[in-house]
Structure 1
């Protein structure tokens, strides 16, 4: 089952690398003032991670959003997704190093992380003032719920999770 672990790690690392924009920095001191306080690893993926799509501008096919907190909410969802990606990669890497971790234990760990991420994303959906943004983020939380319930969360990460950041980059912005 080492291939399962390796596949999960590769998928998540690729996703995490693809989420960062050119102006991203890993320095928490450089995080915007709207960054939520970091939580410890047991409460789910949060923290001051730079967004990858918060600075996106609407295209001709995407209407401008006027809600006051859209940029803040979308930026926080971006940070949550990136932090979640990093946590999933760390979980996979740790399980790969720990030869005694079984595939079932890794699956359980990945499912817990994905479920925590879904809850954090759902909280941001509830904050959204724009109904379209609220629906978009709620739909992302539902997708994450599916990953937390997947028989193979590693497979789900490579097939479904990887589509979430581009969707947010395209549709979640002010």
Structure 2
């Protein structure tokens, strides 16, 4: 058990975590763009939504959007994903992606695909993980002439959520 804990908590470069975040965001972006043409049916009253009486406890947990707010939601949701991919305010935009994912999944739980549910868990894990810089740390002292070719060590920290 100790070896498992040592492995799970061992320090690692933030590059793996950033690669996982990037790949997950790209997959979610492609998936969301594919269903965005039908977003009015999913997120507003324009589509079919099962009644609370017929759903046997699986009624909508969140209210539907008015039709004019669906493009605004999509702009924020997709824009946040693009910002995460380009590392622009990525931490803040990750929370916006997570909030949008919660809304898109919970507004019609019966119609939500497995990708929504898997992505919810993966984003929760990413938001629990430490936010590590992937760039190496800068040395505080000037390097000696023989060490100029050596690059600084990357920051290491435990990335336990994805292990």
Q: What TM-score does the superposition give when structure 2 sets the normalisation length?
A: 0.37
Which of these two proteins has the greater Rg computed from alpha carbons?
A: 2
Q: What TM-score does the superposition give when structure 1 sets the normalisation length?
A: 0.35
